[in-house]
Structure 1
Amino acid sequence: MGLRSKTMDIVKYFEFKFNKNLGQNFLVDENILKKIIDAAELDENTCVIEIGPGIGTLTQEMARKAKKVVAIEIDKNLIPILNETLANFDNIKIIHADALKVDFNKIIEEENLENVKVVANLPYYVTTPIITKLLNEKVKVSSMIIMIQKEVAERIVAKPNTDEYGSLSLLCQYHCEVKKICKVSPNCFVPPPKVESMVIRLDVMDKKRVDVLDETLFFNVIKAAFNMRRKTLYNALKPVVGDENLLLDVLNKSNIDPKRRGETLTIEEFALLANNISKLKGE
């Protein structure tokens, strides 16, 4: 029996109703499933945190390869289904919780997880918040293999001077090596979403891409620069620096034209700006 037929049989048997508000789209394409598993590079020493396991299709395949899988599911109606579809595995832990509210590092500690990877078919509405949470909270994972909306994936890998380039691009590229795995058609899901998806892999780097003196300031500078994309850096960064003369000194010391816009700056230039703000404010 094919994955699509098997999925529909389970949905019908349990009389499950898809919740649009939770962005539920179940993967029913064996080829994409295999590509996710291959990209995750799981083995008996790897532990996995899965966000949004659905009916457990990907969960089962990962449990066959990994040491342990912790699946976090927000929909209480899926818990009894998961308890049945995953009943034959003794290396799976199901947690009924909102992934946006859980303490991932606490889960890692309590479940004795090592060599942790996040593997997930993320609902579109939580994609950016989940990625931001995992990176900002410095969750102890080595990589994230996630299926997300193609548009968001393009933003993550974007380079300067493109429409897609922004705060999310810089957040991910500061913390991670980013790699596209494959595009995914809406036909690979039940029900099919209205947009294309993409599988990407984010490998968290031990040493960040650039050295910054104050990480909070660094991201405040980035946020301000992209808050109003049409603003020049001089106007965008006034609220961050406060003193206009100091701001001009910072831009001059950084060799950055005040008339440039945030979307033209590389991550190295943003780091230089933030570091010079820190230095000049400290003098």
Structure 2
Amino acid sequence: MLSAYSVIPLKRFGQNFLIDDNITRKIRDAVFLNTGKTKAAKDYVLEIGPGSGALTNFLQKKSKRLIAVEVDRVLCSALKRDFGKFKNTQIVCSDILKFDLGAYLKRSKINNLKVVANLPYYITTPIIEYLFKHLKSISDIFITVQKEVAARMVAHHKTKDYGAFTCFVNYFCKPTILFKIKKDSFWPVPKIDSCFIRLLPHRDPKKLYNLSCEELFFKVVRAGFGQRRKQLLNPLSNIVPKDVLKKIIPGGILSSRAEDLSLEDFVYLSNLLNDAKVMEGSLSARSGTFWQKSAGLPVRQAGS
């Protein structure tokens, strides 16, 4: 498709097209698409950024219903010409963040969507947040991300890659790196290698972690990693007075740094604060911009 339609990669979209047939086959093998006893396709699939259609042909054949969302209008037109003839396939020309996935899922009565995506680095975090808002209707997520992002997703506490983004991702799902992808598998060649990763959603994360208040939990995580090299007493004192913290939280936790605490430790910490009701009326909603900054990821400025 790239040569047939004289496609030129656009920097503003962060485009890097997969050109390695071997990697394409590995992705096909890794994506779990179910068929029944009659071998009929059963899965509803969302493909984000189909690009040149390297995976679209496979997904179209193996899906009960495929919706592919592409922001590049030239590629979108080419995809419609190549795949628009199939009744089970819908090509949508849109920025995925402007696509009303919730309305689509409700209208189509879908509660087991599978997502396949090759995510540009500059927009990785916003898209992950976007998908996490619809996790009750998503059964599986398979995405290609740059290796540094993958490392942060699967990091353990007390390591340099562990941070607020790690806690955010692991709270909502179980991330697993399936395999690495060399940078020369793409055109144009990016600066660093990538990973193909699976995010298996938790059906009810609040229940799974026995968490009292999600909003408070994320506020505590934000505060802790906002000053990750400081003992927790200092960053947490920005939201709760020090004398109150010392009465509620064990000293061993307050003298630790954010990177020393596991996700479960942060749950325990936020539950203690919630039980003490020290935060009533002072909670503020988390934003996508925070997660980008905390994870060390750039904001959405592809052309900069």
| Normalised TM-score (structure 2) | 0.84
Aligned to 2:203: 206
For residues 75-110 of structure 1, the C-alpha deviation after alignment (integer angstroms, 9 at most, x for no partner) is: 122111111221442211111111123332222222
What is the deviation of 1:139?
5.3
**Quick check: 1:158 aligned with 2:117?**
no
> Identity rate of aligned residues, in percent?
37
- Local SS of the residue matching 2:238: helix
**Alignment check: 8 A CA contact 2:110 2:137 kept:** no
1:281 aligns with: 277
- In structure 1, the residue corresponding to 2:138 is in which secondary structure? coil
- Are residue 218 (structure 1) and residue 209 (structure 2) matched? no
Aligned partners of 1:105 and 1:139 also within 8 Å:
no
Is the 1:167–1:226 contact (alpha carbons within 8 Å) kept by the matching residues of 2? Answer: yes
Shift of 1:145: 0.4
Give the distance between the partners of 2:170 and 2:85, measured in 1 at CA: 39
Local SS of the residue matching 1:49: strand
SS of the counterpart of 1:145?
Answer: strand
Count of residue pairs brought into register by the alignment? 271
Partner of 1:105: 102
Amino acid corresponding to residue 266 of structure 2 in structure 1: F
In 2, Cα distance between equivalents of 1:105 and 1:153:
26
The secondary structure found in structure 1 opposite 2:245 is: helix
Instruction: Provide the C-alpha distance between the structure 1 equivalents of 2:135 and 2:239, rounded to a whole number of angstroms.
Output: 24
The corresponding residue for 1:260 is 256
Conservation of the 8 A alpha-carbon contact between 1:178 and 1:203:
yes
Q: Tell me, in whole angstroms, the C-alpha distance in 2 between the residues paired with 1:155 and 1:30.
A: 28
Residue 287 of structure 2 corresponds to: none
1:119, distance to aligned residue in structure 2 (A):
0.5
What residue in structure 2 maps to residue 39 of structure 1? 30
Cα distance, 1:114 vs structure 2:
4.5
1:192 Cα deviation from its structure 2 partner: 1.4
User: Are 2:166 and 1:175 aligned?
Assistant: no
- Judge conservation of contact 1:47–1:114 (CA < 8 Å) in 2: no
Deviations 1:159-200 (A, max 9, x none): 001111011111111111221110001111121111100001
Q: Which 5+ residue runs of structure 2 have no aligned equivalent?
A: 35-40, 281-304
**Contact 2:84–2:91 (Cα < 8 Å) also in 1:** no
Corresponding residue number in structure 1 for 2:285: none
1:250 aligns with 2:248: yes
Shift of 1:15: 2.4
Whether the aligned pair in 2 keeps the contact of 1:234 and 1:247 (CA below 8 Å) is yes
Secondary structure of 1:239's aligned partner = coil
**CA distance 1:221–1:65, shift in 2 (3 Å):** same
In structure 2, distance between residues paired with 1:54 and 1:136: 24
The two structures have a TM-score, normalised by structure 1, of: 0.90
- Which 10-residue stretch deviates more, 132-141 or 255-264? 132-141
Aligned AA (2:99): V
Is contact 1:27–1:33 with CA below 8 Å preserved after alignment?
Answer: yes
Picking from 191, 195, 203, the partner of 2:188 is 191
Unmatched 5+ stretches in structure 1: 1-9
Match of 1:79 in 2: 76
RMSD of aligned C-alpha atoms?
Answer: 1.7
Q: SS of the counterpart of 2:55?
A: helix
Counterparts of 2:54 and 2:87 in 1: how far apart (Å)? 16
Q: Secondary structure at the match of 2:98?
A: coil
Of the three residues 65, 69, 77, the one matched with 2:66 is 69
Give the Cα separation in 1 of the matches to 2:252 and 2:132.
28
